[in-house]
Amino acid sequence: MSPARRVLGYLRPYTARYGAGVGCLALATGFSLGIPWQVKEAIDGLRGGGGALAFHAGVIAVLAALHAVARLASRFTMLGAGQWVEHDVRHDLYAHLETLSPAFYLTHRTGDLMSRAANDVQALRALAGFGAVMLASTTFTFAGTLAAMWAIDPRLTLWALAPSPLLVLLARRFNHQVAVESTAVQEQLGALSARVQENLTGMPVVRAYTMEAREIDAFGRLNGDYLARSLRLARTQAAFSPMMGLISGLGGLIVLWVGGMGVLDGRLTLGAFVAFTAYLAHLAWPTIALGWTLGNLKRGLAAMTRIAEILDTPGHVDEPTEERQEAHTVATGWGSTGAIPETVAADGESTGAINQDRGPRHGAPNPQPPLLNGPIEFRRLSFGYDGRGRALDDVSFTVPEGATVVVVGPTGSGKSTLGALLSRLYEPPPGTVFIGGRDVRELPRERLRRSMGYVPQEAFLFSRSISDNVALGDETAPEARLRASAETAGLGSEIERFPEGWATVVGERGLTLSGGQRQRVALARSLVPEPAILVLDDVFSAVDAGKEAEILRSLRAAVAGRTTLVMTHRLRVAQEADRIVVLDEGRVVEQGTHAALLASGGLYARLWRIQQIEQELADD
Amino acid sequence: MTETDPELLGKAYDSRLMRRLWGVTRPHRRLVLFSMLLFPAVAALELLQPWLTKIAIDRYILTGDWPGLSRIAAAYLACLLVLYGLRVAISYLTQVAGQQVMHDLRAALFAHLQRQGAAFFDRSPVGRLMTRVLSDVEAINELFASGAMAVVGDVLTLGGIVVLMLVLNWELAMVTFALVPVLAAGAAYFRLKARESYRGVRTRLARLNGFLQESLQGMAVIQLVARERREAELFAGLNGDLRRAQFRSTFFDSMLYAGVEGMGSAVVALLLWYGGGQVLTGALTFGGLVAFLEYTGRFFLPIRDLGAKYTVMQAATVSAERVFGLLDAEPGIISPAGGAVAGLPGAAAVEFRNVWFAYEGEDWVLRDCSFMVAGGERVALVGPTGEGKSTIVRLMTRAYDVSRGQVLVGGRDVREWDLGALRRQVGVVPQEVFLFTGTVEDNLRVGAGAAAQNEEIERALRTSRADRVVASLPNGLRQEIRERGHNLSQGQRQLLAIARALLYNPSVLALDEATSSVDPESEALIRAGLEELLRGRTSVVIAHRLSTIQTADRIFVLHRGQVRESGRHAELLAQGGLYSRLYELQFGGIGP
Ligand SMILES: Nc1ncnc2c1ncn2[C@@H]1O[C@H](COP(=O)(O)OP(=O)(O)OP(=O)(O)O)[C@@H](O)[C@H]1O
Ligand SMILES: Nc1ncnc2c1ncn2[C@@H]1O[C@H](COP(=O)(O)OP(=O)(O)O)[C@@H](O)[C@H]1O
Ligand SMILES: [Mg+2]
Ligand SMILES: [Mg+2]
């Protein structure tokens, strides 16, 4: 779809407003054109020695008042509509960003996306609001003024218009050049923004490696380039914008000369001459602003193109039909765990401090389809990230319902990839990943993810309060459940010790917490919705042995009956599992129980021995 | 992330700020002064045009003198051409000045941010800092592009018109000015309102952008907890708020605009009525009346523009205030003048002497913490999570300053060190791995720069076991790394971070849980490799896996903000204290 069509699509819902606004503008133009006409009548009357001066003055006053009202109305409607358009574009953009996968965020830098969402959306508003006003107003003013001038003296009108073809030619050139150059500026701004963003987020590394001077240099280069591009644009604008003033001035000159002679010859009255000059002055401002208006149009369309690049990236959209069928066909399909929400609701009558500072609670949630449970199965799964070799190669194994399976393997062997595919952060090939016997690709994402407590390897917290972070997956969860989850995750008393307890707002990405604290908040978060399936990716890596043992103990009680998949490097965790899967370079090299794997003497046994030997060494 | 700093929208003109801005323009002073000189010329020429029209009517048109008319037309043309030239010059010069100043300000801000300590970044969300460096600086440019400088021109034009009108016919001039007080009162009122509503827009925009930025970074989490709908609602709330604030702002702006314009037309009516009378009595010429009418038009235009420019200037002033506020934020941690660039001879020792430290207020993380790592010694630091292990490492490189006590590196207080030299001395692999976008090689050379030889890179990669990672990448060292290294596994990122630190070649190395996501085998191999590398260096290793710790010369156990136990693994076990309990917990359940 062309950007122009797209912009029109956003304008369509406000057709009525724009219509009203344009109507008001037409009226406003009419009223304001009436004023010089009255001046003309008055002056001609004066020349005739008298005339109804007071009458003309009165009409002008009335016209002025009407003009002001009409103009106000047009601005309210059209600028208001422009703001609605901005609102809608931003809304769609956010909604679409929510459907985009990690693969998208991998190739689009946050700084650049921010630049689009902020600057480009703003440019679009300038187009849909003020730009539309200017466009309509310019059109009307030109049309109305020309008509009035024509009525006074067609010949003089043609004379006055003589420089116009030049104007059109120049405007075209200018327009094109400005579009090219301002796109270059916007792009560089995006790059600059991405650079600053990265520098600021990576500041601990910058500091640790004394990179400051080099960072300043690198920024300086981008900054210098931005300056150069801006100056190029400035030069174009400086040369062309005053040209519009010059051309409208030339029109004035011609009128003065040719029109003046007309008055000399008696072909034109003095009043008509004055009115003509006044009309021409009317044209001056739209002519001068024409460059801006056209440039604004170009900028707006360029912005739409950049926004459309995001909007056109195919996102995940779940077919709602399937969801509905689900609710009917699958009965209470999630077995024993189905009782949990009710039991918690029973002891969750307290609306304590935690719930209160979590903002407005939303009314009864939509009837949710039942959560999933059942075995997790990987069936001959092969998968590679874009431009990379296979991260997983013919992987097959099953996590039986209610069982705990641990995946171990060297760094980069594909453990986290399993979690990413299971949760459909990345789309697995069809017929390879199953939950409860159904291909995950056929399950609506929302239902799939609600059913699954997945703790990714990297704990990300929002800079909100701890309670908001823990309750992220289920805002309606009663306080008691939040506390219970925190307890299970081994956070128990620690949160109380934070400066403001549960209400403590953590830093960006949770960076004011220690690594282990962050991991445990993320773990607690996944437990709150009480999912039947748990996927824990290396969640103990920053937790000390004591805490780990404590968490494992409480988790074991909490996960009883849940289907659990754990990725870890700590073989002590593996030892307790129902089954262990050993990955190496994307392949399953072994699977079985701890004892069986030790006996078979493969990779697992070797890893185990490494840990054992160290312990024995230490024990000596 | 909410904008917590007061979004106070102060005066549009603040002499202190203006002086400072004037200071910033120093390197481009000549440009600024020159373009300021051009403004009066433009104003004069603009005023000349109606005057020429007046002369044309009175002297030539009404008298039928057509050669005279042609002469006037020629003068008019000359006036137009000169005006064009001047406008081009002004437009270009002011833009150049503005862009240069913005460039300088951005560079100054960026450099200033590089000098800030970690505590500063704990308080300042990235989104807000970015707003300062990018949007606020851009807003200041408006002072050049359409604000302050053009105001000079407007004021001159206004003054000129007033004088000319008075000269032409003072009575009629007074009629024109009659409505000015009304206008001024109305404008003052709406301006006040516009200012308030503008503040509302800025606050809401900052809030919305902060929210958006965090959403972009945490999108995977939002998706995983199936929270898209709720986040979209929150966003819609902010979005709607912003729109309402904008509309309010538009309302007052438009009232101001339409008010001034309407007033202009009303004056035309007055003029015709009163001036027409004067023409009839012969007190005024026709040309005079026409010129008057034209001047009125030009009189109200700058007034109207001044209103708009006032808003722009307010915005610019607010931005300038914030930019200077940021530039004034003293870096809490600065390199002392003539700071030490080397420690005492021998391998650098690290010592904490009665260190008290809190990130905020009195929430002590370290209380009276003392320990000594001798030069060349290998120490392991253990303790439960959240006890302050990472904090100790941060204090070693002076990311923060201690509240009480002393941290010594190489026998000197870190506050006596030249900061750069200290950080070259003490290399850290932080717990939070951060990789930059760019190639793998760029990331490795982050510390060592272009000087590092390829063999050194190879060796660092081998020792850290990152050689296998690089080998697995299709483009090897040239592989592009995405934002934060998200196209690598967590363990792979850690291995690269270790390689990066090794290449940095510091004499004190601190590894903060550097292998927490690495498999036991690689970890053992790294340990073996480091054995060689750490000879003659001081090292502090933080790890939770006891296997990593056991080979240390000494183990320090951190508890309640102090090092409670220290000694070799076996000694500590024999003591039966904290360490033995920790050890018991990890390996207790496992029978050999
Ligand atoms: N988003 C991505 N894009 C491209 N390649 C990726 C991406 N994520 C992971 N990889 C690559 O896929 C392979 C498997 O990665 P994965 O994260 O699954 O490993 P892992 O077993 O979890 O490792 P670790 O133990 O270090 O966490 C690695 O070679 C990694 O570099
Ligand atoms: N930047 C910070 N601002 C405020 N508090 C912090 C910050 N960093 C860490 N903390 C707090 O200080 C304590 C010690 O953290 P840290 O040194 O990271 O612990 P660890 O021993 O796990 O490395 C924790 O309670 C943590 O929440
Ligand atoms: Mg992983
Ligand atoms: Mg830590």
Q: Parallel, antiparallel, or unpaired: how do β-strands B508-512 and B426-429 relate?
A: parallel
Best mutation site among A96, A316, A418, A508 for testing chain B: the one with the most B CBs within 10 Å? A508
Half-sphere exposure of A107 (CA within 13 A, CB side): 10
Looking at the fold, whether B302 and B424 belong to one and the same domain comes out as no
Same domain, B256 and B107: yes
Assess whether pLDDT exceeds 70 at residue A285: yes
Beta bridge partners of B345: none
A27 contacts chain B (CB < 8 A) = no
Which residue in B295, B308, B322, B367 sits closest to B138, CA to CA? B322
pLDDT at B1: 34
Question: What is the DSSP track for A12-46?
Answer: GGGHHHHHHHHHHHHHHHHHHHHHHHHHHHHHHHH
Domain assignment present for residue B408? The answer is yes
Q: Cα distance from B427 to chain A (closest Cα, Å)?
A: 7
Q: Specify the pTM.
A: 0.82
Does the C-beta of A414 come closer than 6 Å to ligand 1?
yes
Q: For chain A, give the longest Cα–Cα distance.
A: 124
Q: Which two tokens stand for residue A259?
A: 């029109």
Other CB atoms within a 10 A radius of the CB of residue B542 amount to 25
Please give the average per-residue pLDDT across A404-416, as a whole number: 92
Mapping DSSP to helix (H, G, I), strand (E, B) and coil, where does residue A564 land? Answer: strand
DSSP helix/strand/coil, A581: strand
Domain contains B334: no
Q: Rounded to an integer, what distance in angstroms lies between the CA atom of residue B112 and that of residue B108?
A: 6
Residue A107 Cβ inside 6 Å of ligand 1? The answer reads no
The segment with the largest mean pLDDT, out of A58-67, A287-296, B143-152, B339-348, is A58-67
Secondary structure of residue B508 in the 3-state scheme: strand
Mean pLDDT (chain A, rounded): 83
Query: Which of B87, B217, B431 has the CB atom closest to A515's CB atom?
Result: B431
Domain boundary among the residues B265, B293, B327 is at B327
Residue B297, φ and ψ in degrees, nearest 5: -55, -45
DSSP state of A118: I
- Is the distance from the beta carbon of residue B485 to the nearest atom of ligand 1 less than 6 Å? no
Number of compact structural domains in chain B: 2
Residues B399 and B285 in one domain: no
Q: Is the CB of A99 under 6 A from ligand 2?
A: no
Q: How many of the other CB atoms lie within 10 Å of CB of A540?
A: 26
Query: Are B261 and B389 within one domain?
Result: no
DSSP B65: -
Regarding whether B246 and B99 lie in a shared domain, the answer is: yes
- CATH number of residue B168's parent domain: 1.20.1560.10
CA–CA gap between residue B444 and residue B446 (Å, rounded): 5
Q: Are residues B157 and B195 in the same domain?
A: yes
Banded pLDDT at A80 (limits 50, 70, 90): very high
- Name the residue with tokens 């136990």: B565
Q: Does A64 touch chain B (CB under 8 A)?
A: yes
Q: What is the pLDDT of residue A394?
A: 93
Cα–Cα distances (Å) from A433 to A94, A318, A381, A391, B534, in that order, read 30, 18, 7, 15, 46
- Which residues of chain B carry a pLDDT beneath 50? 1-10, 589-592
Any idea what DSSP says for residue A465? B
Which chain A residues are within 8 Å of B190, Cβ to Cβ? none
List the 2-21 stretch of A: residues with Cβ below 8 A of B.
none
Domain finish residue from B293, B327, B361: B327
Out of B269, B296, B327, a domain closes at B327
Question: Residue B517's domain is classified under what CATH number?
Answer: 3.40.50.300
Residue A345 confidence (pLDDT)? 34
The verdict on a CB contact (< 8 Å) between B107 and A220 is yes
Q: Can you identify the CATH homologous superfamily of domain A3-311?
A: ABC transporter type 1, transmembrane domain (1.20.1560.10)
User: From the CB of B483, is ligand 2 less than 6 Å away?
Assistant: no
Q: Each residue of A583-619: pLDDT tens digit?
A: 999 999 999 999 999 999 888 998 888 877 666 655 5
**What is the residue range of B298's domain?**
13-327
ipTM, interface predicted TM-score of the complex: 0.84
Q: What is the pLDDT of residue A196?
A: 92
C-beta of residue A304 within 8 angstroms of C-beta of residue A124: yes
- Pocket flag, ligand 2, residue B390 (CB < 6 Å): yes
B277/B381 same-domain check: no
Instruction: Specify whether the CB–CB gap between A368 and A473 falls below 8 A.
Output: no
Q: Residue B385 and residue A514: Cβ atoms within 8 Å?
A: yes
CA angle in degrees (0–180, nearest 5) for A345-A347-A348: 60
Going by DSSP bridges, is the β-strand pair A390-399/A376-384 parallel, antiparallel, or unpaired?
Answer: antiparallel
Find all residues with CB under 8 Å of A351, minimum gap 6, and list them: A478, A479
Spacing, Cα B199 to ligand 1 middle (Å): 46
- The string of DSSP codes covering A402-428 is T-EEEEE-STTSSHHHHHHHHTTSSPP
Report helix, strand or coil for B590: coil
- Domain borders along chain A are 3-311, 356-619
Same domain, B301 and B357: no
pLDDT of residue B14: 67
If one residue of B391, B432, B558 were mutated to test the ligand 2 pocket, choosing by the most ligand atoms within 8 A of its CB, it would be: B391
Check residue A613 and give its pLDDT: 67
Spatial separation of the C-alpha atoms in residues A62 and A67, rounded to whole Å: 8
Q: Which residues contact B106 (CB under 8 A, 6 or more apart)?
A: A192, A223, B133, B134, B137
pLDDT in tens, A525-576: 999 988 889 999 998 888 877 788 788 888 888 777 889 999 998 887 788 8
Tell me, yes or no, whether B316 and B431 share the same domain: no
More confident call, A268 vs B450: A268
Residue at B84: amino acid letter: Y
Percent of chain A with pLDDT over 90: 30
Contact between chains at A189 and B134 (C-beta distance less than 8 A): yes
Q: B393 CA distance to ligand 4 centroid (A)? A: 9
Asked if residue B177 and residue B49 are part of one domain, the reply reads yes
The CATH class for the domain spanning A356-619 reads alpha beta
Q: B382 CA distance to ligand 2 centroid (A)?
A: 15
| pLDDT given at position B592 | 30
Interface test with A, best of B110, B256, B304 (most A CBs within 10 A): B110
Same domain? For B147 and B284 the reply is yes
SS3 of B522-551: HHHHHHHHHHHHCCCCEEEEECCCHHHHCC
* pLDDT-based confidence at residue A362 (cuts at 50, 70, 90): very low
Nearest to A526, CA basis, from A572, A495, A564: A564
pLDDT computed for residue A230 by the predictor = 92
- Specify if B344 maps to a domain: no
Same domain assignment for residues B320 and B432: no
| B389 CA: nearest ligand 2 atom | 21
CB contact under 8 A, A411 and B492: yes
**Tens digit of each residue's pLDDT (9 = 90 or more) over A464-483:** 899 999 998 888 889 999 99
Q: Backbone phi, then psi, for A359, in 5-degree steps?
A: 75, -175
